[in-house]
Amino acid sequence: MKKLTLLVAALAIGAASATAQKASWSLQDCIQYALDHNLTVQQSSLALEQKEVELSTAKSRRLPGVSAGASENLSFGRGLTADNTYSNSNTTSTSFSLGADIPIFQGFDINNGVKLGRLNLQAATADLEKARDDIRVAVAQAYVQILYNQEILRVAREQAAHDEELLEQIKERRSAGKVSDAEVSAQQATLAQSRQSEIQADGNLQISILELTQLLELGSPEGFAVVSPEAGDPSKALLMRPEAIFAEAVEIKPAVESAKIGVDYAKLNIDRAKGAYLPSLSLSGGLGTNYYTNSKMPSLSFGEQLKNNFSQYVGLNLSIPIFQRFSARNQVRSAEISYRGQMLNLENVKKSLYKEIQQAYYNAVNSQARYRGSAESAESALLHYQLTEEKYKVGKAGIADYNDARNNWLKAESEHIQARWQCLYQTKLLDFYHGEQLNF
């Protein structure tokens, strides 16, 4: 049994490891996996299921209510007899009943409750889609961060390898008596700095991978890798104006849809509150019988009594509200205030969406300009670094000049890489606002 348990555990760990160690993940792979496994999305999905149950409950209020009952009573001691005298006797009474009631009119409360239930279900559906949109954006941000850190690590590794090769050249020149030990030591320090930058870049990459795998609810980041897309030149992407994007987004974004449903819900809730002013009518009916014994008197048999005492009833119940301590009036007032609040919330959601789109638009514009500028800066810094390196190799430039040129190029290259991926992300995010899939 112990061996079987260990085998099952090993298989489970292997399955989890195989999932985490997929060869490489595209952005769509990550988004789809997050939509299927992220806990926040699953909580929103459960909220949707709960609203489905609540709607079913609201619809069921139209059905009749049926109940059955039985009772057994025992009385002993002094009591009144049939001939109007008192004597000591024991009596038993057994009764059975079956009743039903059907609501006929409840001031439209049932119908309005069903309508409110449907609106709640629609709102929960919109909230679920908003949670999905949020996770899509979060995954895309984490994905871009990994791409950026991968590029930075690649540059750091190439620079460390280059500095190591340069150190070997300087050692050969020292052996030939062309450079001093101080220059060798300076280059060794430069190499140590490059290796430290490589270690830091690798650490940043591992942290960004961990953040994405946590969004995906993976057990471990071990073996996780992403596909590096062919981004082309994102600075050439045409950008729609924010006004045009907003005109489309306001019709499709789930946050706005949820706010609109909130307005409809509050408006319908006013009608439901006004229903408290109306009368209610219900139909009821039932069956009953009983069995009775007295220790001082003979009794008919159980079956005969049940047959003889069998009864039926049907009734209509009408309730007319006259004065309810202003509770109905105050409920209507409260519902009207809630409606005005939902109208303000809808406007606030629209304004927030417009601000997000404006911000995304100008971020995209700035990122395109930054990408073009950083490309020129990186190219100039690289050329300067290469010329300084050539001078350094032949002794016409010192180690300080070389390190300054090297550090300036690394900084410019890092900014260019960051600008490239941020430009790609911002332009795709802008497309996402007017209904396109978030993919690159």
The C-alpha atoms of residue 416 and residue 235 are separated, in whole angstroms, by 12
Asked whether residue 21 carries a pLDDT value surpassing 80, the answer given is no
Asked whether residue 22 carries a pLDDT value surpassing 80, the answer given is no
- H helices of 109-180, in order, are 109-175
Residue 315's DSSP bridge partners are 284
The C-alpha atoms of residue 410 and residue 155 are separated, in whole angstroms, by 8
* pLDDT for 127: 94
Asked whether residue 15 carries a pLDDT value surpassing 70, the answer given is no
Asked whether residue 383 carries a pLDDT value surpassing 50, the answer given is yes
* pLDDT for 79: 62
Whether 385 contacts 409, CB under 8 Å: yes
* Average pLDDT over every residue of 44-67: 94
* pLDDT for 142: 95
* pLDDT for 82: 56
Give the pLDDT confidence of 77-99 residue by residue, as tens digits: 776 565 666 677 788 889 999 99
Of 105-114, 187-196, 231-240, 375-384, minimum mean pLDDT range: 231-240
Q: Say what percent of the chain tops pLDDT 90.
A: 58
Q: Say what percent of the chain tops pLDDT 70.
A: 93
Token representation of residue 172: 């050969």
* Average pLDDT over every residue of 224-231: 84
Whether 79 contacts 86, CB under 8 Å: yes
Asked whether residue 352 carries a pLDDT value surpassing 80, the answer given is yes
pTM for the whole structure: 0.80
Whether 368 contacts 424, CB under 8 Å: no
Give the pLDDT confidence of 179-214 residue by residue, as tens digits: 778 888 888 998 999 999 999 999 999 999 999 999
Whether 275 contacts 321, CB under 8 Å: no
* pLDDT for 10: 41
Give the pLDDT confidence of 353-362 residue by residue, as tens digits: 999 999 999 9
Asked whether residue 5 carries a pLDDT value surpassing 50, the answer given is no
* pLDDT for 12: 42
Nearest to 76 by CA among 290, 291, 294, 292: 294
* Average pLDDT over every residue of 345-372: 93
* pLDDT for 289: 93
Asked whether residue 4 carries a pLDDT value surpassing 80, the answer given is no
Token representation of residue 427: 């332009």
Residue 92's DSSP bridge partners are 74, 293
Of 164-168, 263-267, 362-366, minimum mean pLDDT range: 164-168
Whether 256 contacts 347, CB under 8 Å: no
Asked whether residue 292 carries a pLDDT value surpassing 90, the answer given is no
Confidence of residue 162 (pLDDT cuts 50, 70, 90): confident
Token representation of residue 165: 């090769």
* pLDDT for 311: 92
Alpha-carbon distance values, 130 to 31, 123, 204, 394 (Å): 14, 10, 30, 62
Give the pLDDT confidence of 110-155 residue by residue, as tens digits: 999 999 999 999 999 999 999 999 999 999 999 999 999 998 998 8
Nearest to 370 by CA among 336, 406, 414, 310: 414
Give the pLDDT confidence of 294-331 residue by residue, as tens digits: 777 777 888 888 888 999 999 999 999 998 889 999 99
Asked whether residue 174 carries a pLDDT value surpassing 90, the answer given is no
Confidence of residue 8 (pLDDT cuts 50, 70, 90): very low
- Whole-number average pLDDT of the chain: 87
* pLDDT for 13: 42
